[in-house]
Chains A and B, each alone.
Chain A
């Protein structure tokens, strides 16, 4: 355990304390800290398009972690996560313009507002489960979308609303490079908070509600409280993610927050791994980079002889869309436990190389 590189193979944990750490081993902890430091230098090393992708991963990642707490850890379902994300975005912009609250306060406040809304729409979870709950939360998606369109005092209606850039002690985070640090900090902060939540008394209660609600109940866990609370925490994360999105783009309009976005969040956590914090991040990275990778592939195709055939060139745009769907289906069939599981398997393979089991 003490050495950095060599580890005994097999189950090397010998105490319960080691079972419960955020990072499994010291190596992983150092690797995580080093990669965060490396990410701090990213604006110097990569171009600004890549930075925008990283920012996208940050705000989507925060919202997706919220959904994973709800779906993966508590075993509920929500088809309205995209709407909650949008609510956070509008709420932060609204708080900032209507009450001139500074932006760095607006972001957490928007989180709490969204939390309230999420708990309101999560209330049916006290009575219904499974598919029925999915349909009930689908209603929240449409109600909130409709609210965006009608409540002009809140969202600016069809015109949308402007969101000022984040301003902290006189420093304005209005470029991609500067906002990147805000996004990175929020991501790291929210993920550590999520990890610790899952290690706490409440986190254990969430998992108990998911795995066996009857035994949770006879241990004194209040089921309805935790079902509602998980909707609250999940929407809080969605609200924070949405608020960051708003102040990054500077402009929010209702068109983006459709059911498609909700489904995309679900796809992220299913691909990444339900009930896994690092899996959430992997799923988000995958979903953000997949279209980029396919775009790159299409570009390469165009440079070859195939690029001269008009049918192929016209078809490529459609092929790209279909490929995303195909990859997702392939994932569900070949890796139903998500990227987090695949990652563990790859690690095990190299740990025992060349003596695989």
Chain B
């Protein structure tokens, strides 16, 4: 076992999801027993193909399942020793988890600064203006963009969404596909800032991603989901060196290059589930 793995096992997890099952509309079972631990101060990533249940896992954590007729039917979710799986979304925010939704979802009819102030909705202290400066420190280009937030570019909107999460001073931020729809250079920039925020502020991150390459580089620990179950987990090094992960997510194993036809049939034979 590598050193990092030992470290993670020793730290008591900030968030732990224990064997949850999620059913939508009382018939569609999406999660079939998912367990994961997010230790304090770490970046943990959750990878998997479309429809694996990554976003559903996040929604279960942040309490948004109810709005989509979903329900946690088994298992529990604890955050700082407190059960949150029965809480409303607005109470989960108050206990310290802030979700950055897929597709950014900033309020387009407001200016950037109003969006940031909205992020600080749950707070009532005098340091909000200082925190806005702090967000501008991480995202300097937001400072110059006056006017409505709807006119920001996709990357700037993503930055605004992350900045808005910082404004709530959360203990943990859940990011749902921050790389969605961004150019490779911007993805790099955004991930760089995510790592920086994690280091400077000690905010725990749970990162759901399709872009496995960047996500694994940023993360300390990773889980891989498929069809509503965790199929593999490990530290950054373990996952990066795993042959299956390379084959399925990072592109190409270290065997010699196969033709696409071979690759396809090989994949079909060798699935985790």
Given A16-B111, A214-B101, A215-B105, CB of A220 within 8 Å of CB of B64: no
CB-based contact A220/B121 at 8 Å? yes
CB-based contact A219/B67 at 8 Å? no
CB-based contact B93/A214 at 8 Å? no
Residue B34 lies at the interface, judged by CB distance under 8 Å to chain A: no
Contact with B along A10-38 (1 / 0, CB 8 A): 01011110111000000000000000000
Q: Interface size for chain B: under 10, 10 to 19, 20 to 34, or 35 or more residues?
A: 20 to 34
Using a Cβ cutoff of 8 Å, how many contacts connect chains A and B? 82
CB-based contact B108/A219 at 8 Å? no
Beta-carbon nearest neighbor of B62 in chain A: A218
Query: Which chain A residues border B193 with CB–CB below 8 Å?
Result: none
CB-based contact B67/A11 at 8 Å? no
Residue B89 lies at the interface, judged by CB distance under 8 Å to chain A: yes
CB-based contact A20/B93 at 8 Å? no
Query: Which chain A residues border B201 with CB–CB below 8 Å?
Result: none
Q: Which of B90, B92, B112, B164 contacts A221 (CB 8 A)?
A: B90
CB-based contact A219/B146 at 8 Å? no
Residue A211 lies at the interface, judged by CB distance under 8 Å to chain B: yes
- Distance in angstroms from A130 CB to nearest chain B CB is 15
Q: Interface size for chain A: under 10, 10 to 19, 20 to 34, or 35 or more residues?
A: 20 to 34
- Distance in angstroms from A198 CB to nearest chain B CB is 10
- Distance in angstroms from B120 CB to nearest chain A CB is 9
Residue A201 lies at the interface, judged by CB distance under 8 Å to chain B: yes
- Distance in angstroms from B64 CB to nearest chain A CB is 7
Residue B99 lies at the interface, judged by CB distance under 8 Å to chain A: yes
- Distance in angstroms from B155 CB to nearest chain A CB is 18
Residue B122 lies at the interface, judged by CB distance under 8 Å to chain A: yes
- Distance in angstroms from A219 CB to nearest chain B CB is 5
Residue B189 lies at the interface, judged by CB distance under 8 Å to chain A: no
Residue A150 lies at the interface, judged by CB distance under 8 Å to chain B: no
Query: Which chain B residues border A220 with CB–CB below 8 Å?
Result: 90, 93-94, 121-122, 168
Beta-carbon nearest neighbor of A275 in chain B: B109
- Distance in angstroms from B166 CB to nearest chain A CB is 12
Residue A205 lies at the interface, judged by CB distance under 8 Å to chain B: yes
Residue B98 lies at the interface, judged by CB distance under 8 Å to chain A: yes
CB-based contact A204/B105 at 8 Å? no
Given A13-B147, A15-B146, CB of A20 within 8 Å of CB of B113: yes
What 5 A-B pairs come out closest when comparing CB atoms?
A220-B93, A220-B122, A215-B105, A16-B113, A217-B89
Beta-carbon nearest neighbor of B91 in chain A: A220
Residue B107 lies at the interface, judged by CB distance under 8 Å to chain A: yes
Query: Which chain A residues border B147 with CB–CB below 8 Å?
Result: 11, 13, 19
Residue A282 lies at the interface, judged by CB distance under 8 Å to chain B: no
CB-based contact B109/A207 at 8 Å? yes
Within 8 A of B (CB), among A1-60: 11, 13-16, 18-20
Residue B246 lies at the interface, judged by CB distance under 8 Å to chain A: no
Query: Which chain A residues border B93 with CB–CB below 8 Å?
Result: 218-220
Residue B117 lies at the interface, judged by CB distance under 8 Å to chain A: yes
- Distance in angstroms from B90 CB to nearest chain A CB is 5
Q: How far is A214 from B122 in the complex, measured between Cα atoms in Å?
A: 15
CB-based contact B146/A204 at 8 Å? no
Residue B39 lies at the interface, judged by CB distance under 8 Å to chain A: no
Contact with B along A133-172 (1 / 0, CB 8 A): 0000000000000000000000000000000000000000
Contact with B along A107-121 (1 / 0, CB 8 A): 000000000000000
CB-based contact B113/A19 at 8 Å? yes
CB-based contact A201/B117 at 8 Å? yes
Query: Which chain B residues border A14 with CB–CB below 8 Å?
Result: 146
Within 8 A of B (CB), among A198-246: 201, 204-205, 207-208, 211-212, 214-223
Residue B110 lies at the interface, judged by CB distance under 8 Å to chain A: yes
Residue B247 lies at the interface, judged by CB distance under 8 Å to chain A: no
Q: How far is A218 from B90 in the complex, measured between Cα atoms in Å?
A: 6
Beta-carbon nearest neighbor of B148 in chain A: A19
CB-based contact B67/A217 at 8 Å? yes
Query: Which chain B residues border A212 with CB–CB below 8 Å?
Result: 105, 107
Within 8 A of A (CB), among B107-150: 107-114, 117-119, 121-122, 146-147
- Distance in angstroms from B150 CB to nearest chain A CB is 9
CB-based contact B62/A19 at 8 Å? no
Given A14-B146, A201-B117, CB of A217 within 8 Å of CB of B64: yes
Q: How far is A18 from B111 in the complex, measured between Cα atoms in Å?
A: 11
CB-based contact B107/A215 at 8 Å? yes
Q: How far is A222 from B114 in the complex, measured between Cα atoms in Å?
A: 18
Within 8 A of A (CB), among B70-91: 88-90
Beta-carbon nearest neighbor of A13 in chain B: B146
Q: List 29 A-B contacts (CB under 8 A).
A: A11-B146, A11-B147, A13-B146, A19-B111, A19-B146, A204-B107, A204-B110, A204-B118, A204-B121, A207-B107, A208-B107, A208-B110, A214-B64, A214-B101, A214-B105, A215-B106, A217-B64, A217-B88, A217-B89, A217-B90, A218-B64, A218-B92, A218-B101, A219-B164, A219-B168, A220-B94, A220-B121, A221-B118, A221-B121
- Distance in angstroms from B54 CB to nearest chain A CB is 17
Q: How far is A192 from B257 in the complex, measured between Cα atoms in Å?
A: 70
Query: Which chain A residues border B118 with CB–CB below 8 Å?
Result: 204-205, 208, 216, 219, 221
Q: How far is A289 from B158 in the complex, measured between Cα atoms in Å?
A: 47
Beta-carbon nearest neighbor of A223 in chain B: B90
CB-based contact A218/B110 at 8 Å? no
Query: Which chain B residues border A19 with CB–CB below 8 Å?
Result: 111, 113, 146-147
Q: How far is A205 from B105 in the complex, measured between Cα atoms in Å?
A: 14
- Distance in angstroms from A43 CB to nearest chain B CB is 39
Q: How far is A218 from B55 in the complex, measured between Cα atoms in Å?
A: 14
Given A14-B146, A15-B146, CB of A205 within 8 Å of CB of B121: yes
